[in-house]
Every structure is written in C-alpha cells, then in structure tokens.
Chains A and B, each alone.
Chain A
C-alpha cells in the first residue's frame, strides 16, 4: 500500500506545491489507506488509480481538507496545512464525484453562484464562455434536473475555468462524459498544467496527459 517516490523529488517540489508524507486515513476504526507519500509540483499531474473501495475518494477529500487524516502530514508550499485554512483554500479547486450543483437552478445560475462562493464576482461573460467550451451553450438556462448525467458533469467541470486556482483535485472527472466532452476536459487540463498549475486526479482509465501515477490498494 505504500508508495515512495524518490525522496529527492519530494524535497524538490515540496516548497513549490503539494506534498504529503505517510498520509493515512481510517474509517470506523479500519484503515482505508496508509503510509502514502506524494508530491505534486507546478505543471505536474498525479493520477491516482486503484480498485473500487481502495480509498481514492477519501484521499482526495483528505488532500482538500474536508477530511482529517489519521496519520501523516500534508504540506502546501512547505508549510503544514490546517483544515479550513484560508490560504490553502484559495489555492485549490475540488470537483468530487457528485457534481456539486443544485438541480433546481440552471447551469448558468449554478456557476454564477459557484463563482461567488469561491470568492470571485460573478461574470456572465466568463460563465457563458466556460459553458460554451464544454458545448453547453444551448442548454445553459435549462434547470439542471432536466440535464443528463453527462451534461451535469460538464457543468461541474466548467466550474474549473471560472476561478483560476493552482491546485486541482478531481475525483473521476471523466465519469459519464462522452468523447467530445472528454476531449474538452483534456484540453482544459493541458492548458492548466502548461500555465504552471498542478492537478491530482483520481481516475479509472489513465489520462493521456501523462504525469506520475499513484496506485492505491494492495
């Protein structure tokens, strides 16, 4: 269950990005994952793979600060992260495997509200542009409950384009996406990495963007 990338790499990226040492998490007294080391620096992608139940979702939630680890430490830019710390929160964007959008509002309304919650002033232009890049231009005013699962996923991912964040934590982003939307997401991810951003993505199939891999589960 342990994965130790070369320690030199960990040291090198530690002060510019996310690093974790001996991270462990347990639920109901039973360990979900343990002894995880990882490091992600600017421009890097880390793909987390593993069978169902191996703890991919839990790992991402621990990295985002929503869950408290049972062991180990998490550092952002060489400083330890405390839950709810504003500085860290302003550097990360999280898309869980639930979409995080309200079914009774339209896609555009959801994204405008998401911008506000994330600390930005809502901009109709940017929302339109983000939805358009995922091919949602014609359905942006339809209540989300009338959209298909794949369309809702597109809206959830469109949120990433709205408020620029350094670290992306994505839990199975390709779920329910068709090929066209999948390509749009890859393009978005590539652009993010090229601009110096970093991403940790839990996924079943390997993304073409490459990067390093972390396999969970024994």
Chain B
C-alpha cells in the first residue's frame, strides 16, 4: 500500500501534480521529525522569556502613581490581547495558503493554532476582569478592546465548533480555512464598528486604552511577555500539528517514533 499512502499525501491531481505531489509528500514527512526536535527548544525559550518578563513586570518596573500595584496585570493583559490578534492573522495566512495551494499541512497548522489563540483571548478577558474589579469596581466593562476580544473569542470558538462538526477531514480543513479567511476580512470591520459603538455610547470614562504612559521598562516587560507567548505558541502548535497529522491519517501513528522523541 506504499504507493497509495504516498499518493494520499498529496491533495491535488493535475498534469503538473506529480512534482507537487512529491513536494507535499516530502513536506509532511520531513516536517514531522523537525517539529518534534524543535518543540522542546521553543518550550525552553518560552520559559526563559516568561521568567524574564515576569521579573521585569513584577519587580523591576516602577509602581504606578494612580493605580498602584494592580496595573501590573497589564503585563499579562496586553500581550495576551496582542497574541490573540496575531494568532488569528497567522491562522488566516495559513488558511489562504491552504485554499490557494491545496496544501493540507497549512490548514493543519491553522487548526493547531486555534485553541492557543482562544486560550489567549480568554486570558485577555480574564485579566481584563481582574484589572477592572479593583480599579473600577466592576468585573466587566464594555470597553472597545474587551468587547472586540469577546467577539474574537466567538470567532475562535466558531472555528473550533465547525472543525468538530465535520467528520470528513479534508472537508473540515477546507471549510475551516474558508471560515478563517472570511473571519479575518471581517475582523477589521468588527474592530472599527465596536470602536465606533463605544465612542458613541461613551458614558463611562473607563478605558483600557488609557493605560499608564509607557516607561521604557514597562515596554520591555510587555515585549518580553509577548515573545514568551510567541515561543509558547509555536511550541504548542508544533506538538499539536504532529498529533493532527496522525489523527487525520496523513502519517501512521507509529511514524517517526523514537525513544526519547517528544510527544510522538
């Protein structure tokens, strides 16, 4: 069945398909062990950067005059919000690749990123609530950014729901890719409309955009946390995509298992 297995790696059969078929075959087969080797390094980098970022954020950065110590949650809230947006854009990029070039690995990468993106959205919302309670006395505020984060969470959850609802793996990948693409085109419109809605109905003056002005150390802290999140995201995505490759039958479950290989 080796012929058929090889043939099944590719997704597109055209006259020029032979070359492309071997390319796709090679990429899935070669990518898998590479991902397995790289993942631990990214996890290690994430831990280091996280330690550095937390140190800067919670020890080095000065106390804010108005908000006291509570403002430090900005070092979690803002990077998480940035990550949730970035990850959605990266998912959309992979989705575009998947739809245009018919590569299954691209849509699998998008699927691998989705839960992490949703996680960061939840972290952003939770940290926003934790910030809001001591500062303004409410657990939730219809601030433009928090509201946009909420809608982004719905987009992520919808993506994961669609993936779960479709049995046929190839249809699931392409449907989710289309959904991510349509969603990403919509996200600027959503952000704009929420911003507009917020300024129109502005009664409360609370806003997460009126964060304390950035000292250099605070910016450094946030950047460190963002980098840590990036490393973590890449590591988790690499691990997850290896599982997905096996779940969807592109690779056999025992492919590439060596003693000591990470999460094979």
Give residues in A with beta carbon < 8 Å to B.
22-24, 26-31, 34-35, 68-75, 80, 82
Counting from the closest, the 10 A-B pairs by CB-CB distance are A29-B249, A71-B7, A80-B15, A69-B13, A80-B14, A73-B13, A34-B4, A72-B13, A70-B8, A24-B7
- Is B62 an interface position by the 8 A CB rule? no
Additional A-B contacts beyond A71-B13, A71-B21, A73-B13 (13; CB < 8 A): A22-B7, A28-B167, A28-B168, A28-B169, A68-B12, A68-B13, A69-B13, A70-B11, A71-B7, A72-B13, A73-B17, A80-B14, A80-B15
- Which of chain B's residues 1-42 have a Cβ closer than 8 Å to chain A? 3-4, 7-8, 10-15, 17, 21
A-B contacts counted at CB < 8 A amount to 48
- Collect the chain A residues with CB atoms within 8 Å of residue B11's CB: 68, 70
Main secondary structure of the interface of B (DSSP, over half): loop
Q: Are B3 and A26 in touch, CB under 8 angstroms?
A: no
Chain B's nearest CB lies how many Å from the CB of A37?
A: 13
Classify chain B: how many residues form its interface, as a range.
10 to 19
List residues of chain B with CB under 8 Å of any chain A CB: 3-4, 7-8, 10-15, 17, 21, 167-169, 248-249
Chain B residues, Cβ within 8 Å of A70: 7-8, 10-11, 13
A75 to chain B: which residues have CB within 8 Å? Answer: 15
Once the chains are docked, how many angstroms separate the CA of A28 from the CA of B248?
A: 8
Q: For B8, give its contact among A22, A71, A82 (CB under 8 Å).
A: A71
Q: Which residues of B have CB within 8 Å of A34?
A: 4, 7
Partner of B15, one of A24, A69, A71, A73: A73
- Cβ–Cβ < 8 Å partners of B17 in chain A: 73
- B14 contacts A82, CB within 8 Å? yes
Residue of A nearest to B15 (CB): A80
A24 touches B4 (CB 8 A): yes
Query: Nearest chain B CB to A31's CB is how many angstroms away?
Result: 6
Kindly identify which residue among A23, A30, A71, A82 contacts B10, using a CB–CB cutoff of 8 Å: A71
Pairwise interchain contact B7-A29, C-beta atoms closer than 8 A: no
A68 to B173, CA, bound (A): 14
Contact A74 B13 (CB under 8 A): yes
A30–B249 alpha-carbon span in the complex (Å): 8
Q: How far is the CB of B243 from chain A (nearest CB, A)?
A: 15
CB distance from A209 to the nearest CB of B (A): 30
6 inter-chain pairs at a CB distance below 8 angstroms, sorted by A residue, are A28-B167, A34-B7, A68-B12, A70-B7, A71-B10, A71-B13
What residues of chain B lie closer than 8 Å to A30, measured between beta carbons? 249
* Chain A residues within 8 Å of B21, by CB: 71
* Residue in chain A with minimal CB distance to B249: A29
CB distance from B190 to the nearest CB of A (A): 31
Collect the chain B residues with CB atoms within 8 Å of residue A24's CB: 4, 7-8
How long is the Cα–Cα vector from A23 to B7 in the complex, in angstroms? 10
Q: Do B248 and A29 touch (CB < 8 A)?
A: yes
- Nearest residue in B to A21 (C-beta to C-beta)? B13
In the assembled complex, the Cα of A26 lies from the Cα of B17 at a distance in Å of 17
Specify which chain B residues have a CB less than 8 angstroms from the CB of A68 in the assembled complex: 11-13
Chain B nearest CB, measured from A184 CB (Å)? 37
Chain B residue nearest to A71 in the complex (CB): B7
Q: Which residues of A contact B12 (CB under 8 A)?
A: 68
Collect the chain B residues with CB atoms within 8 Å of residue A29's CB.
Answer: 8, 169, 248-249
* Contact (A31, B4) CB under 8 Å given A70-B10, A71-B10: yes
Q: Are the C-beta atoms of A35 and B10 separated by less than 8 Å?
A: no
Contacts of B168 in A (CB 8 A): 27-28
Q: Smallest CB–CB gap between B37 and chain A, Å?
A: 26
